[in-house]
Amino acid sequence: MRLTAPTTIVFLLSVLLAVLALLSLILPIPFVGLHRFAFMTAAWAVLMIGTMFKGL
């Protein structure tokens, strides 16, 4: 299996999810604060899927 660079949209989505999770440590973000670990895991999963599948 060859790994490829993720598209810009997938990369930015992953960064957005990670930043929301990190910001919820400082700022009270209602939904994100309760599911911080899920948001960080989703950010990692989106980035992983983006590198595993070409064109995503």
Residues 6+ apart with CB under 8 A from 53: 4
- What Cα–Cα distance (Å) separates residue 55 from each residue in 2, 7, 8, 9, 10? 12, 7, 11, 11, 10
Distance CA 26, CA 9 (A): 26
CB distance 56 to 11 below 8 Å: no
What does the pLDDT read at residue 54? Answer: 83
pLDDT above 80 (res 55):
no
Report pLDDT digits (tens) over 3-38: 999 999 999 999 999 999 999 999 999 999 999 999
pTM: 0.89
Domain boundaries, the chain: 8-52
pLDDT above 80 (res 56):
no
Q: How many C-beta atoms surround the C-beta of residue 14 within 10 A?
A: 20
